Amino acid sequence: MHRIRAITLDLDDTLWEIMPVIRRAEAALWAWLGENFPKIPEVFSPEAAYELREEVMTEHWDRNHDFLFLRKMVLERMAVTVGYSPDFVDDAFVVFDRVRNDVELYADVVPTLEVLSEHFSLIAVTNGNANLQRIGIRHLFDDVVTAVDVGAAKPARPIFDEAVNRADVTAQQTLHVGDHPEIDIVGAQEAGLRTAWVNRNGDGWPEHVAAPDVIISTIAELLTVLEPAIAHQASHSGHE
């Protein structure tokens, strides 16, 4: 770990819990539709919308990394089916995004990132659509790499390669931090990065995949994990 110079961080379920947020955002969207375009919730249930999403994903397999595109396509199809013009779709997603970015950060996130940002390049790497500016932590990151930016979602290698490139380091000098064993850890391993699995729930590591370099239960534990890298930086600066 003493060679680490950059940290790539997953967002959803690593820095905050995502499913309660998505449920609230979807509820807000459906409530807005009910008030403004009532034929949609009259004809389509949330379950039917999910089935339609599966159809869209099959038809547009090359855009499955773009969650916003998929959601908009579903909404457009529902609108056309019940006789509405889909012109309102962007307005609908203003409603969705407002709630989607109203997240509750885990308590250890901000103080830890504040320390880490003094010593490492921090790059957010996400398959989702979180807006770090709205959430209030964009200033703690040097850059943000999304699946839409790259045209590929984790665990595909290009998104990790892009993050390493933006940090201007090598893969071996980069630690990827994430909560998902396959999407985060295996993907990062295959791209040559070091890995830290955030296991807040005490889950067992899947036996069918290679273990991460370290397992942590909070983001704050990164400060201990990365002590050798911080000390290495200090010793080198002392010789300059």
DSSP 2: T
Flag whether the pTM goes above 0.85: yes
Q: CATH number for 19-100: choose from 3.60.10.10, 1.20.120.1600, 1.20.140.10, 3.30.70.1230.
A: 1.20.120.1600
CATH node for 6-16+105-238: 3.40.50.1000
pLDDT over threshold 90, residue 62: no
**Which of 169, 175, 173, 180 lies closest to 126 in space, CA to CA?**
180
Per the document, the length of the chain is 240
What does the domain layout of the chain look like in residue ranges?
A: 6-16+105-238, 19-100
Confidence of residue 237 (pLDDT cuts 50, 70, 90): low
**Which of 86, 78, 81 lies closest to 53 in space, CA to CA?**
78
Confidence of residue 192 (pLDDT cuts 50, 70, 90): very high
Structure tokens at 28: 């807000």
Q: What pLDDT score was predicted for residue 222? A: 97
Q: What is 177-214 written as a DSSP string?
A: EES-IIIIIIHHHHTT-EEEEE-TT-PPPPTTSPPPSE
If residue 144 lies in a helix (H) or strand (E), which one and from where to where? strand 143-146
